[in-house]
Structures are given as structure tokens and as C-alpha cells.
């Protein structure tokens, strides 16, 4: 899932950022500019964003930005009948992104459960080995 930040929420760029912006932002920041880390700071530390707004920005708004490129995004970022069951259950008081540029594979802290396509892939904070139910989101191909 791409992780967007609202235009008023990213003090560095002054625009929306996605997880894919990390390599560009790395040239300007000595620390990890993770959108998840930015959200934690804005919600917990600064109180500038509610938890509900942070979750909306990291789920529904990401899907909405992709809807123009692919209809698959219409079943993402929502908890509703017929939508893909991609769900993260986390402890907001302890949630923290530990990944850095030097160690991008470090898992987040505070993530209790993750379901992808309705299949459990993180159980009690531990990644389950050999479980990979995800499917790629592909853009529509335009034919002449």
C-alpha cells in the first residue's frame, strides 16, 4: 500500500508524498523520511493530525489516487463488502516505523496483525513465513 501524506502534513516537500518518494527525499534528509514515521509524529507527538485522518490518508486516499490508473484500486483502502481484505491491526500508542535507508527491512513496532486478501500474514507481531497472498495492482493498458 502506498502511504500518502496530505499537502499540509509534509513540512519537507509541501506536497503529497508517497512511499515511492523515499529515494528522492533521501538526498535532502539525513534521517528516515518515512511517511508512516511522519504520520506517527503528526498524530502522537504534535497532535496536528487525528488518528482517523492518518489512517484515511494511508489507506483510502492512496487508493483514490490510483483509481484513475486502475479499477483494482476501487477495492482498496476500504472496509466494506466486496473490497479486498487488506487490514492492518496496530497499537497506536506503540506503533513506530524502524526502517532506515541502511536497514529498509526492519519491521515496524506495534503492528499486531496484518491480513492481505483476507489471509493472515502477520500474527501477534510476527511475520508468517511462506504466506504471500498479495496480487499486484496493474495499470490499465491503453490499446490504440
- Residue 137 in any domain: the answer is no
Provide the number of structural domains found in the chain.
Answer: 1
- Residue 62 in any domain: the answer is yes
> Coil, strand, or helix at residue 31?
coil
- Residue 4 in any domain: the answer is no
Q: Range of 72's domain?
A: 19-127
As a 3-state breakdown, the chain gives helix, strand, coil percent values, each rounded to 5, of 25, 15, 60
- Residue 51 in any domain: the answer is yes
- Residue 99 in any domain: the answer is yes
- Residue 144 in any domain: the answer is no
- Residue 32 in any domain: the answer is yes
State pTM to two decimals: 0.67
Rounded Cα–Cα distance for residues 95 and 115 (Å): 17
- Residue 42 in any domain: the answer is yes
- The one-digit pLDDT tens for each residue of the chain (144 residues) are 333 333 334 443 444 444 444 454 454 444 555 677 777 778 888 888 888 888 888 888 888 888 888 888 888 888 888 888 788 898 888 888 888 778 878 888 898 999 998 899 999 999 899 998 988 888 876 655
Q: Are 26 and 13 in contact (CB under 8 A)?
A: no
Amino acid at each position: 500500500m502506498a502511504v500518502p501524506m496530505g499537502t499540509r502534513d509534509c513540512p519537507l516537500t509541501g506536497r503529497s508524498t508517497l512511499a515511492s518518494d523515499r529515494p528522492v527525499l533521501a538526498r535532502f534528509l539525513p534521517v528516515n523520511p518515512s511517511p508512516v514515521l511522519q504520520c506517527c509524529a503528526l498524530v502522537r507527538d504534535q497532535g496536528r493530525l487525528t488518528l482517523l485522518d492518518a489512517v484515511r490518508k494511508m489507506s483510502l486516499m492512496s487508493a483514490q489516487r490510483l483509481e484513475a490508473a486502475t479499477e483494482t484500486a476501487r477495492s482498496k483502502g476500504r472496509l466494506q463488502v466486496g473490497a479486498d481484505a487488506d487490514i492492518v491491526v496496530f497499537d497506536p500508542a506503540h506503533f513506530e516505523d524502524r526502517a532506515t535507508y541502511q536497514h529498509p527491512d526492519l519491521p515496524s513496532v506495534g503492528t499486531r496483525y496484518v491480513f492481505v486478501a483476507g489471509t493472515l500474514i502477520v500474527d501477534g507481531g510476527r511475520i508468517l513465513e511462506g504466506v504471500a497472498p498479495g496480487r499486484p495492482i496493474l495499470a490499465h493498458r491503453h490499446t490504440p
